Amino acid sequence: MAEDTIFAKIARGEMHADIVYEDDDCVAFRDIDPKAPTHVLVIPREPVSGLDDPKATPDMLGHLAHVCTKVAEKLGIAGDGYRVVVNVGRNGGQSVSHLHFHVLGGRPMTWPPG
Ligand code: 5GP
């Protein structure tokens, strides 16, 4: 259940996270195991299991994407570029069943991803 995940608890303020931005609809916090010098996760407060959850509305997704750009600017990685990633399901590498956008920056990214 999306309500029971670590990220739902962070969104409700029941678990600690290093929060870098928040508003009424979403929270952005540093990844506990960063894959780049700057690695932030942007999540909706609403418990939505992933990008493929019908509760992930276009408005919600647009807001989360916009917040990714705000976070990148705030943390000083926007100028050199950065990567926004959403892993979906098992093959996509999603390990937490609460929708999250990864914002990764502070080094050049490689392509293709693994
Ligand atoms: P996924 O693999 O689902 O796309 O990404 C999940 C991310 O959540 C991983 O990068 C992982 O390091 C991060 N993560 C897992 N547990 C916690 C936690 O308790 N706190 C924080 N801040 N990040 C976490």
pLDDT along the chain (114 residues), means of 10: 88 97 98 98 98 98 98 98 98 98 98 93
Residue 110 DSSP code: P
Residue tagged active-site, from 39, 98, 100, 102: 100
Ligand 1 midpoint to CA 1 (Å): 16
Q: Is residue 100 part of a domain?
A: yes
100 is catalytic: yes
Q: What's 63's domain CATH number?
A: 3.30.428.10
- How much is the pTM? 0.98
Q: Is residue 90 part of a domain?
A: yes
Ligand 1 midpoint to CA 96 (Å): 7
Q: Is residue 76 part of a domain?
A: yes
Helices marked H in the chain:
6-11, 58-74, 89-92
Please indicate whether residue 49, judged by its CB atom, sits closer than 6 Å to ligand 1: no
Q: Is residue 65 part of a domain?
A: yes
Q: Which of 31, 112, 103, 26 is nearest to 68 (CA)?
A: 103
Q: Is residue 112 part of a domain?
A: no
Q: Which of 44, 40, 39 is nearest to 7 (CA)?
A: 44
Q: How confident is the model at residue 97, as a pLDDT? A: 98
Q: Is residue 79 part of a domain?
A: yes
Report the number of distinct structural domains present in the chain. 1
pLDDT tens-digit series, residues 19-30: 999 999 999 999
Domain that holds residue 85: 2-105
